[in-house]
Amino acid sequence: MFRKAHLLFTILCAGSTSAITIIMSLLYLHVSESNLYDSQFRAFQNDVSTITASLEQSTYVSMQWLARIEAQNDYTIFVVDNGTPFLYNNLRGSVDPNSQSLLAEGLTAHDSMSVNEDLDSQGNTYSGIRHTEFEFASPPTQSTYYASIIDINRESTLSQIVILCSLATLHETILRQRILFILIDLAAIAALLVFSWFFTGKLLRPLQENHEKQMQFIAAASHELRTPLSVILASNECCQSASPEEQPGFSGTIRREGKRMNRLIDDMLTLAHSGMNRFLIERKPVEPDTLCLNAYEAFEPLCAQKNLTLSLSLPETPLARCSCDPDRIAQVLSILLNNAVSYTPEGGQIELALHYRREHRTSFEITVTDTGIGISDEEKKHIFDHFYRAEKSRSTKGHFGLGLAIAYEIVNAHHGKISVRDNPTGGSVFVVKLPEK
Ligand code: ADP
């Protein structure tokens, strides 16, 4: 599922960014090509204006001069004298086989543009020199040209100089530019694909981990619920065929296992709420020493029953109040003390202590120290995980491996910290740090 989503997000991310890149490069290409055409046309117009200015100052047209201009600018120039093409190109010795048709096409394109070429703007017969620039495409040469026709009307003789500038070189430049852009775009798309793959992978990883954790939680929860349920079903079956004297025993088992299931479901709901950030903390000013005293009093009978010594250590000076949810913190103390009782053999000692620290941030520190079986360094890494139980405590009935996970969530919701360390004299020390506010 995540692999498919990863692929889909990658395609979506890379696809959208690539589309934007391609649109931007097409826009850039369009603007740059228009500029290239414009500047080429302007350069051509400037050349023609210079030629026209020179022609206006001289009385005759020098073929050598035209040949020089043609060679310098890579133009094709024709001279038409009174409607008859002057074979100027032959003189140069570089006859283009299409030149005659090119000339004809140029003149036809020019004629189709001119309304009345022999009349000036006032309607009088035109006299002097004028020039017109335009663009035309020649199907035989498959080329496009900028053309200029300079009309020289002197003493009722009309000479025309046709100047053609092929756009083939410009088209080649544009083609090269387009190929370069395609290559750059392809490289950009490849880079975007790789980047999107890693980026979306990084984004999806926490979701995937969360999903895996949820799956593990569901699997572990189902496993834990099945045990009491099987006992209930089996006891119920036995109860039906049992004698009246045996029946209360089976009913007792059913009740006990039902309670066990109920507690497990409560724990799971607490964790589910914390996972959905719906863990409600109702803060109020609380005297932390009262909280510890209550927990001590609640566990003293149980410790006495198990032949354990429970002691309470409180600061001698009066303490400030702590802003916390008293029920939730009492639940944390109950989990820690319950574990200490469960994992400390008979004759052991348990200490509940409260300290007031003013070092970095003012905080209350509650410690539960026992002289029990202790926790190995490897186990310390997992004890706050959901459903984690160390191998040696698996046989302890009624322990689902959720207590410390719940304690962790509660302390975390108070912006506090919970940790565990070894008791130098054997056993473990659980430390809960709570900020004052
Ligand atoms: P459980 O309900 O099984 O005690 P917890 O989440 O409270 O689950 O604890 C997780 C595991 O951490 C326990 O199974 C046990 O192995 C270990 N543990 C917790 N408290 C102690 C302790 N005081 N001494 C030794 N081991 C402990």
- Torsion angle (degrees, nearest 10) of CA 254, 259, 261, 263: -170
**Ligand 1 centroid to residue 382 C-alpha, Å:** 10
**CA 384 to ligand 1: nearest atom:** 6
CB within 6 Å of ligand 1 — which residues? 335, 339-340, 343, 370, 372-373, 375, 383, 388-390, 393, 399-405, 428
Q: How many CB atoms lie within 10 A of CB 241?
A: 7
SS3 177: helix
- Ligand 1 midpoint to CA 392 (Å): 10
Atom of ligand 1 nearest to the CA of 405: 6
Residue 313: what pLDDT? Answer: 95
DSSP per-residue string spanning 301-351? HHHHHTT-EEEEE--SSPPPPEEE-HHHHHHHHHHHHHHHHHTS-TT-EEE
Q: Which distant-in-sequence residues (6+ apart) come within 8 Å of 155 by Cβ?
A: none
The reported pTM is: 0.57
**Residue of 184 and 113 predicted with greater confidence:** 184
What is the CA(338)–ligand 1 centre distance, in A? 9
Q: How far apart are CA 44 and CA 114, in angstroms?
A: 20
Instruction: Indicate which atom in ligand 1 lies nearest the CA of residue 398.
Output: 2
Residue 229 CA to residue 235 CA, distance in Å, equals 10
**Burial tier of 18 (Cβ tally within 10 Å: 0-12, 13-18, 19+):** buried
- The pLDDT, as a whole number, for residue 122 is 53
pLDDT score of 116: 47
Could you give the 3-state DSSP secondary structure of residue 138?
strand
Q: Which pLDDT does position 142 carry in this prediction?
A: 75
Binned at pLDDT 50, 70 and 90, residue 59 comes out as: confident
Ligand 1 pocket mutation, candidates 227, 389, 392, 423, criterion most atoms within 8 A of CB: 389
> Among 343, 371, 408, 423, which is best to mutate for testing ligand 1, by the most ligand atoms less than 8 A from CB?
343
Q: Is the pLDDT of residue 124 over 80?
A: no
User: pLDDT band at residue 104, thresholds of 50, 70 and 90?
Assistant: confident
Main-chain dihedrals φ then ψ at residue 246, nearest 5 degrees: -80, -25
Q: How confident is the model at residue 272 (pLDDT cuts 50, 70, 90)?
A: confident
Residue pLDDT, tens place only, 370-392: 999 999 999 999 899 877 777 65
Going by alpha carbons, the residue nearest to atom 16 of ligand 1 is 390
Strand order in the sheet with 128-138: 84-86, 75-81, 157-166, 143-154, 128-138
**Mean pLDDT for the chain overall:** 84
In tens, the pLDDT along 28-53 reads 999 999 999 999 999 999 999 988 88
The tokens for 369 are 């120290």
Buried/exposed 384-423: b ≥16 CB within 10 Å, e otherwise: bbbbbbbeebeeeeeebbbbbbbbbbbbebbebebebeeb
| Count of CB atoms situated within 10 Å of the CB of 327 | 11
pLDDT digits (tens, 9 = 90+) for 339-356: 999 999 999 999 999 998
pLDDT at position 91 is: 46
Tell me how far CA of residue 110 lies from CA of 151, 168, 373, in angstroms.
11, 21, 106
Which is more confident, 313 or 1? 313
The residue written with tokens 């004028």 in the block is 130
Inter-axis angle of helices 168-241 and 247-275, nearest 10? 160
Range from 103-117, 147-161, 268-282 carrying the lowest mean pLDDT: 103-117
Residue nearest atom 14 of ligand 1, based on CA coordinates: 389
Residue of 191 and 158 predicted with greater confidence: 191
- Specify the ligand 1 atom closest to the Cα of 396: 3
* 70-94: pLDDT as tens digits: 888 888 888 887 777 765 554 454 4
Residue 21's pLDDT is 92
